[in-house]
Structure formats: C-alpha cells, structure tokens
C-alpha cells in the first residue's frame, strides 16, 4: 500500500548491534498536521521532551527514530545529542529542524551513539521511498519478535484516504502509555483539534487498556501525521460524519496494533481479556480489571493453565473497589467457575482449564452492582519473560 506524499527509509547504523536495522525515517513531502500522546512517567527521555515542545505548533514533516538506545536519563549531553540528531536529519532533508520529531527505544541510561547518526544520515535520506514502511517497522524493534503494522483505506469526504500504522512493544508495557512506540501516517486532510481529539480518544481505548508487566517506560509515544494529500474535504467538525469515519478508522488501527503488542509480549504464550461488568461505575470496573490484569500471581496461573480463581478474587479485593464478594460470578470463556462468590466444583474447574489451554480467551467478572463495564487486555507471565529481562542489557 502506498499513501500519497509519504516516504520511508531504514538503515543498519550500528547504534548497538552491527548489521541490524536500527535507524528509521518517516517523511512527508509537505508539512503534516501532527498530534501526539506521550508517556505519563515523570522521567521522560530527551526525545519525548523535545517532541512535546515541538508539537505545540501542531505540525511536523519527519520522524527520526532509532532502536538500540533510549537516550533517557542521559542528562544535558543526551538532550544535546538528540537535538544534534534531529539537526542532521533536517539539514539532509532541507527542512527546519523544528519540523523533525525524534523517537528512541532501547536501554535507559546509555549515551546515544551520535557517530552512527552522522555516518548514516545521508544514506538514510537517500533511501527514502514509498515502499519502505515495513523496513522502518523492523528498525524500531527491540525484544519484539515480529514487526507490527496495519493498513487501512476508507472513502472520507468523497476521496479515498489511506492509513498506515506501525507499533513497537513487547515489554515494559503498562498504561498510561508504556515502552511502546506507535506511528500512524495518513493522507487525510484534517484540522489539528479534530486529529488530537481522535488520537486521545483512540489511545484511551487501546494502548491505555493493555498491560504486559505493569512497568511504565520513559520513552513511549503515539504520533499521527496527516498531510492532506488525499484532497478530501477538511475534517474540521467533530459532529460531522467525516470526522466519525476518520475516528472509526483510527480507533480500529490503534486497537489492532495494541493487540499485536500484547500478543508479542516478552515470553507471552497467551493473550487474555479481563472484562469486569456490574460495577457501580465504568471507572471502578476499569480499576478492578487493571488490578487483575497486572497481578503476577494471576498471570503465572494463566501460564500454568491453572484455573485458580482464588487469585482473581483476591486481586479484586485489593483493587480498592468496594463490592460484595457474595455476589460475584467469574467465568473463563463460556465456563462459569464461580457463582455468587462460591466455586462450582472440580467439573467446572476442569472445563475452565480447557479454556486456559487456548492462546486467547476472556475472563468475565460480574459484580452485580451496577452498569459499569470495562476491559483490560493482558498476557501471561512465562519463564521466558524472566530470562529475557534478566540479561536484557547483555
């Protein structure tokens, strides 16, 4: 798929490892309306701080992204290195440096290999082409096992509008926002307010509804660039059908990419949806679902295919949400395991165990106390998760 006005490039710059794609570039022929959502961690990497400042103008023309080094907690030198890398890209592209957004992922606390940027910026820019989107998606991988991309096309405002999205993430994943990068480009013509509104709403229901290990990173971001090359009527009113159409496409892309991140969780073997209904309010349902989804004991039980519902109800009890344990129903898939707070016996547990043997399933909790209902997507904790993270820096 090719989207009008965008080109892409990736090279093996040797930022951390030789002969591995690790430096990517996304470029719009014209300045693009751009919105972003960033980590809520108080510790923010240099690229995040720079992008937050640059996006006050609501426009950009390029995203320069590297793997192999997070450039986080690197002090004034790290900030200067990030600014220099952007300046190198801007000079080679012939655009203002404030139009270049920066993104990094990798080990925290390590200095950026700026010489790799200097040596490879020219071939990176010279390699720009419309067919290199998948190469950039591979260049942003760290412990990911697969590149994560999605594509969409939709008629909006009487014109065919294209969308391309990529994400990176496998560990240090916990909303709000996490060690994940997501870049979406579209040739839609849309105003900044509407783009920002659609992005924030979409992230709230996608990347902010997933968890792998409960850790929030210093570098995560979601950026959306819209260069208007499709020539559709301006999307400048959230009450209009064209805005709804745009928002629906963006939502579906964000949710699909978020699901791909969970499925590729470090060492993960199962993708699990925790759905809590019957709460007094939606916010209470979300709090409880998130508590269950981040419980190490619950996640290891999923890996062991153990229908240990006691761990689930214990996590519910420490969530801070008030409920009556004697009203609780718990089901694994379509197997009811607990009714009114009491287990239904060995046969139900055996049937639930069969559900756990699948690689995708849903745990449904009914509190019977209201209309609040939310879900959070998680994965299991396996032995491989420990192995991957025990020697991540080596």
Top mean pLDDT of 83-97, 296-310, 371-385 is at 83-97
Measured distance CA(105)–CA(45) in Å, rounded: 9
C-alpha 98 chain-centroid distance = 25
Q: What percent of the chain has pLDDT over 70?
A: 92
Note the pLDDT tens digit of each residue in 281-335: 999 999 999 999 989 899 899 999 999 999 999 999 999 999 999 999 999 999 9
- SS3 call for 312: helix
Residue with token string 């390029």 = 62
When pLDDT is cut at 50, 70 and 90, the band that residue 173 belongs to is very low
* 142 assigned ligand-binding residue: yes
Contact 378, 294 (CB under 8 A): yes
Tell me the domain boundaries of the chain. 6-263, 271-390
Q: What amino acid positions are annotated as catalytic residues?
A: 179
The kind and range of the H/E element at 87 are helix 75-93
* 256 assigned ligand-binding residue: no
Note the pLDDT tens digit of each residue in 21-62: 999 999 999 999 999 999 878 888 999 999 999 999 999 999
What CATH code is assigned to 6-263? 3.60.70.12
Same fold, 6-263 and 271-390: no
* 168 assigned ligand-binding residue: yes
Note the pLDDT tens digit of each residue in 117-156: 999 999 999 999 999 999 999 999 987 888 999 999 999 9
Backbone angles phi and psi of 382, in degrees to 5: -110, 175
77, HSE (Cβ side, Cα atoms, 13 Å): 8
* 353 assigned ligand-binding residue: no
* 354 assigned ligand-binding residue: no
Burial of 189: CB neighbours in 10 Å, binned 0-12, 13-18, 19+: buried
Contact 179, 217 (CB under 8 A): yes
Measured distance CA(87)–CA(24) in Å, rounded: 15
Does the reported pTM lie above 0.85?
no
Name the class of domain 271-390.
Answer: alpha beta
What's the average model confidence in pLDDT over 258-282?
85
34, HSE (Cβ side, Cα atoms, 13 Å): 30
* 216 assigned ligand-binding residue: no
Backbone angles phi and psi of 69, in degrees to 5: -160, 125
């Amino acid at each position: 798929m090719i989207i009008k006005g965008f080109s892409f490039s990736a090279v093996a710059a040797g930022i951390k490892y030789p002969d591995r794609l690790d430096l990517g570039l996304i470029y719009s022929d014209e300045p693009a309306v751009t919105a972003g959502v960033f980590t809520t961690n108080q510790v923010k990497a240099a690229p995040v701080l720079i992008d937050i400042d640059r996006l006050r103008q609501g426009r950009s023309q390029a995203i320069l992204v590297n793997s192999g080094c997070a450039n986080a907690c690197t002090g004034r030198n790290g900030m200067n290195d990030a600014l220099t890398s952007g300046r190198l890209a801007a000079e080679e592209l012939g655009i203002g440096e404030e139009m270049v957004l920066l993104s990094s992922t990798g080990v925290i606390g390590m200095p950026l290999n700026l010489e790799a940027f200097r040596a490879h910026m020219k071939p990176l820019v010279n390699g720009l082409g419309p067919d290199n989107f998948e190469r950039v998606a591979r260049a942003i991988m760290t412990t990911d096992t697969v590149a994560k991309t999605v594509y969409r096309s939709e008629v909006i405002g009487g014109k065919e509008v294209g969308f391309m999205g990529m994400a990176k993430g496998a560990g240090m994943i916990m909303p709000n926002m996490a060690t994940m990068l997501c870049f979406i480009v579209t040739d839609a013509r849309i105003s900044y307010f509407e783009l920002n509104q659609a992005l924030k709403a979409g992230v709230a229901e996608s990347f902010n509804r997933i968890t792998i290990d409960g850790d929030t990173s210093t570098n995560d971001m979601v950026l959306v660039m819209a260069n208007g090359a499709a020539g559709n009527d301006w999307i400048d009113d959230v009450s209009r059908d064209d805005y709804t159409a745009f928002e629906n496409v963006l939502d579906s892309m964000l949710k699909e990419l978020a699901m791909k991140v969970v499925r590729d969780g470090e060492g993960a073997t199962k993708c699990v949806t925790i759905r809590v209904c019957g709460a007094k309010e939606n916010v209470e349902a979300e709090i409880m679902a998130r508590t269950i989804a981040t419980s190490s004991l619950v996640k290891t039980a999923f890996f062991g295919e153990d229908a240990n519902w006691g761990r689930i109800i214990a996590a519910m009890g420490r969530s801070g949400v008030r409920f009556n344990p004697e009203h609780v129903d718990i089901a694994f898939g379509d197997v009811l395991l607990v009714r009114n707070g009491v287990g239904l016996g060995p046969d139900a547990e055996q049937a639930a165990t069969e559900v756990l043997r699948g690689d995708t399933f849903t745990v449904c909790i009914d509190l019977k106390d209201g209309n609040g209902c939310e879900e959070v997507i998680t994965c299991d904790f396996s032995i491989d998760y420990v192995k991957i993270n025990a020697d991540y820096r080596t």
